[in-house]
Amino acid sequence: MAPRKKPAPTPAKCPACRTGQVQESFQIGGRKKHTSDDRQEALCLTCLGTGEAPTD
Domain regions of the chain by residue span: 13-27+36-56
In the chain, the amino acid numbered 47 is C
Q: How far apart are CA 45 and CA 16, in angstroms?
A: 9
This model's pTM is above 0.75 = no
Residue 34 dihedral angles phi and psi, to the nearest 5°? -120, 150
pLDDT at 30: 85
- The model's pLDDT over 3-52, given as tens digits with 9 standing for 90+, comes to 888 888 888 888 888 788 999 888 888 888 898 888 899 999 988 888 88
